[in-house]
Chains A and B, each alone.
Chain A
Amino acid sequence: MLSPSSGIGRFSTKSAKVIRFVRKGCTNRPFFHIVVAERRREQFEPVIEQLGSYDPLPNENNEKLVSLNLERIRFWMGNGALVSKPVEQLLGLAGFLPIHPTSYMVAWRNRKAAEKEAEKKESDANSAS
């Protein structure tokens, strides 16, 4: 028997499809498959096709590993599949789609927070000396 990620999900031609994550880790160890599935299906039902994987925890070389089947993603997007927001963000960072606005937002907020931190540190150092 094939595993659910092998693309054994049944689907109709005209139903809405979506490219999204399926969580395949265990407690405290997230790991995601990027799959195309019918939009109305639940997360852990058999999918139409797996299009990649995403490991959000950095490995020993401080890398977050992503694999994408871009050809099939193109095909499914061309055939009207929607893309969920987290996958859009990931594809934006991968350079396949334009960078998602939320990515910019997160970046500038982090930047601002870092600046504030630095200023605070500086002022603390000045007052101490």
Chain B
Amino acid sequence: MISYQNLQSVRWRRKPIWMPTAKSKLYRIPVKPVIPEEEKEEIKRLYNNYRTYIKSIRRFLTYKHSVLLMAKSDTEQLKKAFDEDFMRCKEINDKWNEDLKKLREERVAKQLQEEIEFAKNRMANLIKQKEQKLAEAEEIVRKEKQMVGTFITPENLDEVIEKALSNPVDYNFAIDLEGNRIIGRETKPEEQVSVKQ
């Protein structure tokens, strides 16, 4: 809703702006004002001076009256507010730090324990592996020791050759229809007749 109480009607003297140029003024050419050079210079000088004055006055008034500047420049108040805020923040921060310290210490202790355990396990494993390897090596040595008696040496070389020659080994074999192995190249099957049936 618009309240009409505050409206003041103004009677204008001009014709409205959307009306066309009057016929009597249609071909009128307005005369350009001619300002002499000296006057121009003088006006320029005056304006420069005036602007400088206004600038300085404005600055003076700003320092004296500006609300924003005052709020900014009240350093004591600002410092106090800053300190209060800082102390509040510090308290919160200290509390957080304490909580975190507890958690951290717990975590570190736990981690240390875990690491110690891990190291112990590793040591035990290493010892176990070593023992195993030693046992394997001993087994090998033991076997070798057993084998020592059957070794061929230059002393018993002739003897062994003699033995090998006197005991020829035939690895050939054949398989009959029942799947029996018949060892030897020259051996004949004993029950030829039964097979034939």
**Residues of chain A at the chain B interface (Cβ within 8 Å):** 1, 3-4, 23, 26-27, 44, 46, 74-75, 77-80, 97-98, 100-101, 104-105
Contacts and interface: CB of A to CB of B under 8 A. Distances in A.
A98 B50 contact: yes
A7 to B, nearest CB: 13
A4 B43 CA distance: 38
A79 B43 contact: no
B10 interface: yes
Contacts of B6: 1, 3-4, 46
Interface stretch (B15-23, B59-67, B81-89, B125-133): B59-67
A78 B65 contact: yes
- Find the residue from B11, B50, B62, B67 having the highest chain A CB count within 10 A: B50
Kindly name the residue among A98, A100, A104 whose own CB sees the greatest number of chain B CB atoms within 10 A: A98
Contact of A101 (B5, B13, B46, B68): B46
A73 to B, nearest CB: 9
Contacts, number: 52
Nearest to B57: A97
Interface residues of B, number: 24
Interface of B: 3, 5-6, 8, 10-11, 13, 43, 46-47, 49-50, 53-54, 57-58, 61-68
18 contacts: A1-B3, A3-B6, A23-B10, A26-B10, A44-B8, A46-B6, A74-B61, A77-B61, A77-B65, A78-B62, A79-B67, A97-B57, A98-B53, A100-B50, A101-B43, A101-B47, A101-B50, A105-B43
Contacts of A79: 62, 65-68
A23 B9 CA distance: 12
Contacts of B8: 4, 44
B64 A74 contact: yes
B45 to A, nearest CB: 9
Contacts of A44: 8, 10
Contacts of A80: 62, 66
Contacts of A4: 6, 8
